[in-house]
Amino acid sequence: MKMKQKTLNDELLELEAKYCSWGDTVHYVEKPTIFKRAQGSYLYDKDGVEYLDLQMWYSAASFGYKNERLNNALTAQVDRLPQLACQYLHEEKVRLAASLAQRIERTFEEKGRIHFNVGGSSAIEDSLKLVRNHTGRNLVFAFMGGYHGRTLAASAITSSFRYREKFGHFGDRAFFVPFPYCFRCPYDKKRESCSLYCVKQFERLFETEYYSIVNKKTKACEFVAFYIEPVQGTGGYIIPPYEYFSELKKIIDAYNILLVDDEIQMGFFRTGKFWAIEHFNVTPDIIVFGKALTNGLNPLSGIWAKEELISPDVFPPGSTHSTFSSNTLGTAVGLEVMKLIEDENFATDVPKNGKYFISRLKRLQKKYSQIGDVDGIGLALRVEMCQKDGYTPNKELTDTMVEIGLSGKLTSGGKNRGLILDVGGYYKNVFTLAPSFYITEKEIDLGVALFEEALLKAIRQS
């Protein structure tokens, strides 16, 4: 029986090698694993080996795999109205838009509207259209270490040149500003004494027209929006100082620069609040969201914008469109996610679980100098892997741990298991942990034990 399954595995890998593009991220690891089943916090491979997932599809499946309530909403819609061209209306789209817009209005005291699309990058593209339409200009600020997707325009405001290198420019490349990554301060400052030196450096750009940003006579700025992730996702779950964004906002407000808040990875309570930006006491002009909106079921993304940016008289019918945007299956699940959020207590449960997880990881940090930094907000947790000095980035050790986790041969907890880890960070040495919101303390303990086992094996191999 086992022999037969192995053969099937080999056959699939052979077909994959021949017929699948390798242009996606599957081959970041040497030997891709083929999964067959998912439940709660776990994935299962073809041999039934259980893998504890500490990244939950980069936070798209935050509410757990096969969440019964959300799956039921999907299947009910399959039975009721599975397809509908997006030029017609259906109840779930309207109710989901209303629910999101009303929640944002309660939180930020701002009226606005929602526009749906399919993936995160497409929603970013829509937000760029809104910015250009409103300001009549193209250029935007974004952060070093920021990630906004891989379509052409989204790549242009994503920090890595690697993602643009072979594809030329279509959207305008952003002006990239250093993010407050205090563990590796871009200005070599210490948080205790820096007085937000990074914000002051940004402010200096506006001091004279000869710094290329602003016309001091009219106060017009060549850069009309600032794209932010309040907590950087792919950049390595980096949490800025709590005063950072309110200080930044004072500067951009003085020059009418829009604040575009990319919540694609951190939205929907990943950080313990509905939107990550809520931790920082500023109101964005545009919010972009996706991923967990449908718990990774039928894809759906979207933007919210202040009324003056998106009202029908400035953003009329046909301004943007995609065949599958506001699809009936995605909107039905999205609506159920909003109801689930009302019924659950994520505002207290997520930070509580996060705190427990961090305390366990910090214990591990005391034992292993290779763990340079442990930090987290809600259930967005970072573990930065280093050389023995606790600072020099150690990508090799990180990659080896990923492969060991994926091999499904860890034994903590008394049987063969795997561990699913995702890697981010400027040096690709940060485990960005995004566990299910329903992870239990017992599962956290298991996760930490598996992590330690993988670390020990990786150290031995290095």
Ligand X SMILES: Cc1ncc(COP(=O)(O)O)c(C=O)c1O
Nearest by Cα to 294 from 9, 444, 20, 100: 100
Cβ nearer to ligand X, comparing 302 with 408 = 302
Per DSSP bridges, beta strands 225-228 and 258-262 are parallel
User: Cβ-closest residue to ligand X?
Assistant: 120
Q: Which range in 113-121, 197-205, 313-321, 398-406 contacts ligand X by CB under 6 A?
A: 113-121
Binding of ligand X at residue 285 (CB under 6 A)? no
Binding of ligand X at residue 58 (CB under 6 A)? yes
Binding of ligand X at residue 148 (CB under 6 A)? yes
Q: Which range in 75-83, 141-149, 303-311, 443-451 contacts ligand X by CB under 6 A?
A: 141-149
DSSP-derived 3-state class of residue 316: coil
Q: Which range in 120-128, 178-186, 187-195, 314-322 contacts ligand X by CB under 6 A?
A: 120-128
Q: Which range in 1-9, 14-22, 119-127, 394-402 contacts ligand X by CB under 6 A?
A: 119-127
| The residue to which tokens 């699809």 are assigned | 327
Binding of ligand X at residue 296 (CB under 6 A)? no
Please state the closest distance from residue 434 (CB atom) to ligand X, in A.
10
Please state the closest distance from residue 233 (CB atom) to ligand X, in A.
4
Show the site string, 200-229: x = touches ligand X by CB under 6 A, - = not. Answer: -----------------------------x
Neighbouring C-beta atoms of residue 164, cutoff 10 Å: 18
Cβ nearer to ligand X, comparing 180 with 290 = 290
Distance CA 60, CA 178 (A): 27
Q: Which range in 107-115, 258-266, 388-396, 425-433 contacts ligand X by CB under 6 A?
A: 258-266
Binding of ligand X at residue 117 (CB under 6 A)? no
Binding of ligand X at residue 234 (CB under 6 A)? yes
Distance CA 228, CA 236 (A): 14
375-434 residues in contact with ligand X (CB under 6 A) are none
Distance CA 383, CA 106 (A): 34
Q: In this structure, what token pair is assigned to residue 459?
A: 């150290």
Among 262, 373, 375, 453, binds ligand X (CB under 6 A): 262
Name residues whose C-beta falls within 8 Å of residue 16's C-beta, 6 or more positions apart in sequence: 26, 32
Sign of CA dihedral 125, 126, 130, 132: positive
Cβ nearer to ligand X, comparing 33 with 432 = 432
Cβ nearer to ligand X, comparing 265 with 326 = 265
Q: Which range in 146-154, 215-223, 247-255, 406-414 contacts ligand X by CB under 6 A?
A: 146-154
Binding of ligand X at residue 171 (CB under 6 A)? no
Cα torsion for 256, 199, 59, 418, to the nearest 10°?
Answer: 160
Radius of gyration, CA atoms only, the chain: 22
Element (H, E) at 390: none
Cβ nearer to ligand X, comparing 120 with 272 = 120
* Whole-number Cα distances in Å, 237 to 73, 264, 276, 396: 31, 13, 12, 19
Name residues whose C-beta falls within 8 Å of residue 15's C-beta, 6 or more positions apart in sequence: none
Distance CA 403, CA 324 (A): 36
What residues make contact with ligand X under the rule CB under 6 A?
58, 119-121, 124, 147-149, 229, 233-234, 262, 264-265, 290
